[in-house]
Structure 1
Amino acid sequence: MKRRFVTLDVFTTRRHAGNPLAVVLQSEGLDTEAMQAIAREFNLSETVFVSPPEKPGHRASVRIFTPGGELPFAGHPTVGTAVWLALTDDAEGRPAELLVLEEKVGPVSCAVEVKGSHAGHAVFTLPRLPERVGEAAEAEVLATALGLDASEIGFENHAPAVYSAGVPFHFVPVATREVIGRARPDLARWQAAFGAGGAYLYGRETAETGHDFHVRMFWPGTGIGEDPATGGAAAAFAGAIMAYDKPADGDHRLVIEQGYEMGRPSQITLELSVRDRALVSARIGGSAIVVSEGVLL
């Protein structure tokens, strides 16, 4: 059976930037092993498989695979898939401003906006608020696994921590963008520092004005050496922001830049709604643009 696919660049408004995503359509009949093999063939940070939804009123059921395994939830696949489905619906005369994707983590509500025939913007509400999970390794252990010095870990009151909004990430605060740029994963020391998880380095010194954080994300265990944009980590990052920055009650919008060291600049918006000093909801947003369409034989 021939199956259509598209690729999009996500968290960007221009092609050949952001984070590439493959979306396989008409994926009925594919088992987990076949999906994993196709994801390895694309060799992108994530590949999405779209099927009809299980519940009426939902737009689609999706499964998300890295080259190394399946994820219950991820940000750039959610944004990219929502934009593609919105483009498809709009072209068929069925425009919608809201759609729901069924992911392993649960239903994910996405507000979508079509911008032309090949681009759009999506904002999704986190299906699960971030929570602190486990404890980070000592700064010396983290630094060694990243090719850095322990004195370069941490800034202000920010300290290493592990948070999850569906997928756990190790958050490593770094004082300057120069230090973030020097980070190089040491695979021989990775397990001791991060286990099978990903390392999300972040700091306030940004490449572009108007942005709030500059980040890099390494996750060798999933086949992702470095990711150009990681929406699932940005979702979990909301937990670290609440813990260390303690934003006041109200709505806050932050812009996270990622992928600059890879030549694939990406911009992720993180919106926080805070009431009584607690996070009551959060949203991840970004743009996506179609790059290619094809058929799997």
Structure 2
Amino acid sequence: MPRPYAIYDVFTSDRLAGNPLAVVFDGQGLSDSRMQAIAREFNLSETVFVTPPENPAHSARLRIFTPGRELPFAGHPTVGAAVALAELNHNGGEADLVSVFEENVGPVRCAVKLLSGQAGFAEFDLPKRSEQLSSTIDPQKVADALCLSVSDLGFENHRSSVWSAGVPFVMVPVRDIAAAGSIAFDAGRWTAALGKTSAAYVYCRGGVDHRASFHARMFAPDMGIAEDPATGGAVAAMSGAILHFDALADGHHALVIEQGVEMGRPSHIDLHLEIKNQQVLRARIGGRAVKIASGNLFL
């Protein structure tokens, strides 16, 4: 039977920028292996399948697949699916609403705003606080995998570490945008050094865009992603590293992370942190999403 889908560019207001996402609006009845095969067919960094929620008070259940595996949680599918479902249900009209999506990590609360003639905006509360995971990281092996020198790694007091807010990422700070731009990622060396399930999130202070607090790149060979233009799940994990290394003062911190610049698909991810006594009271991630295509799967 036909299953409608749409493709959205996420964390951008511009078509052919940001991170493309396939949203399959009717995933009911599809097996896990079928969903994985469809994700490989789209061959985008992520495909999200919408199914009925287990709790009728919630908006939908979301299943998120990369070309390589299913994820318990991810940012750009959450933002993209929220905007896509809001636009579908409001026939292109204006709306200001709150939805709760069931993801494998747990319920995710998401606010959506639609304005006529503009890309939709969505932001969600992190379903899980970022935490640092124990790890042994060899700087020389990391540098070799990125084709950088050890002197390129780190800035200020930021050092490589592993953080997770549902999906773990190896956070690799580098000295500046020039170092980030010169990376030639070697998946074989990276896997040998850090394991086949490790994804690299490389970041530095500042950005090409003057609004950016940080500039980032993401590489995830185990997910079937050579490089990702925007990674909300990694920014969720990064929130813990920012708090830890920057010792954020109490209060509200509004940050913008730019990603995808080197790919020609610039993305902007909003990160808001509410800090009290060196703890994250609340964190949320947001961005825009714009529809670029639609059609049907005949499955």
Q: Corresponding residue for 1:171?
A: 171
Q: In the alignment, residue 205 of structure 1 is paired with which amino acid?
A: G
Q: In the alignment, residue 293 of structure 1 is paired with which amino acid?
A: S
Q: Corresponding residue for 2:229?
A: 228
Q: In the alignment, residue 293 of structure 2 is paired with which amino acid?
A: S
Structure 2: gaps (5+ residues): none
Contact 1:145 1:186 in 2 (8 A): yes
Alpha-carbon distance in 1 for matches of 2:214, 2:113? 25
Deviation at 1:26, TM superposition (A): 1.2
Alpha-carbon distance in 2 for matches of 1:26, 1:161? 39
Q: In the alignment, residue 67 of structure 1 is paired with which amino acid?
A: P
Alpha-carbon distance in 2 for matches of 1:130, 1:136? 19
Q: In the alignment, residue 127 of structure 1 is paired with which amino acid?
A: P
3-state SS of 1:20 partner: strand
Deviation at 1:163, TM superposition (A): 0.1
Contact 1:273 1:280 in 2 (8 A): yes
Contact 2:72 2:105 in 1 (8 A): yes
Alpha-carbon distance in 1 for matches of 2:93, 2:222? 42
Kindly report which structure 2 residues correspond to 1:277-296, keeping only aligned pairs within 5 A, or say none: 277-296=278-297
Alpha-carbon distance in 1 for matches of 2:155, 2:94? 49
Deviation at 1:217, TM superposition (A): 0.4
The reply to whether residue 218 of structure 1 matches residue 219 of structure 2 is yes
Kindly report which structure 2 residues correspond to 1:77-92, keeping only aligned pairs within 5 A, or say none: 77-91=77-91
Alpha-carbon distance in 1 for matches of 2:203, 2:92? 42
TM-score normalised by L of structure 1: 0.97
The reply to whether residue 16 of structure 1 matches residue 16 of structure 2 is yes
3-state SS of 2:135 partner: coil
3-state SS of 1:157 partner: coil
3-state SS of 1:175 partner: coil
Alpha-carbon distance in 1 for matches of 2:258, 2:213? 8
Deviation at 1:194, TM superposition (A): 2.7
Contact 2:120 2:290 in 1 (8 A): yes
Alpha-carbon distance in 2 for matches of 1:292, 1:116? 18
Contact 1:136 1:160 in 2 (8 A): no
Contact 1:113 1:122 in 2 (8 A): yes
Alpha-carbon distance in 2 for matches of 1:6, 1:93? 17
3-state SS of 1:91 partner: coil
Alpha-carbon distance in 1 for matches of 2:174, 2:184? 14
- State the aligned residue count: 297
Q: In the alignment, residue 199 of structure 1 is paired with which amino acid?
A: A
Q: In the alignment, residue 162 of structure 1 is paired with which amino acid?
A: V
TM-score normalised by L of structure 2: 0.96
3-state SS of 2:127 partner: coil
Kindly report which structure 2 residues correspond to 1:1-297, keeping only aligned pairs within 5 A, or say none: 1-91=1-91, 95-116=95-116, 119-195=119-195, 196-297=197-298
Deviation at 1:117, TM superposition (A): 6.4
Q: In the alignment, residue 103 of structure 1 is paired with which amino acid?
A: E
3-state SS of 1:16 partner: coil
Alpha-carbon distance in 1 for matches of 2:85, 2:118? 11
Deviation at 1:133, TM superposition (A): 1.0
Deviation at 1:141, TM superposition (A): 1.1
Contact 1:89 1:96 in 2 (8 A): no
1:146-169, Cα deviation, whole Å (9 max, x unpaired): 111111101100000000000000
Stretches of 4+ moved more than 3 A in 1? 92-96
3-state SS of 2:166 partner: coil
Deviation at 1:115, TM superposition (A): 2.4
| Percent identical | 53
1:105-126, Cα deviation, whole Å (9 max, x unpaired): 0000001001236730001000
Deviation at 1:290, TM superposition (A): 0.5
Residues 278, 35 of structure 1: CA spacing in aligned structure 2 closer, same or farther, 3 A cutoff?
same
Alpha-carbon distance in 1 for matches of 2:49, 2:118? 20
1:245-264, Cα deviation, whole Å (9 max, x unpaired): 01110111000000000000
Contact 1:89 1:95 in 2 (8 A): no
3-state SS of 1:97 partner: strand
Contact 2:13 2:290 in 1 (8 A): yes
Alpha-carbon distance in 1 for matches of 2:92, 2:191? 49
Alpha-carbon distance in 2 for matches of 1:22, 1:173? 30
Contact 2:94 2:113 in 1 (8 A): no
Q: In the alignment, residue 270 of structure 1 is paired with which amino acid?
A: L
Task: Give the RMSD, CA atoms, in angstroms.
Answer: 1.4
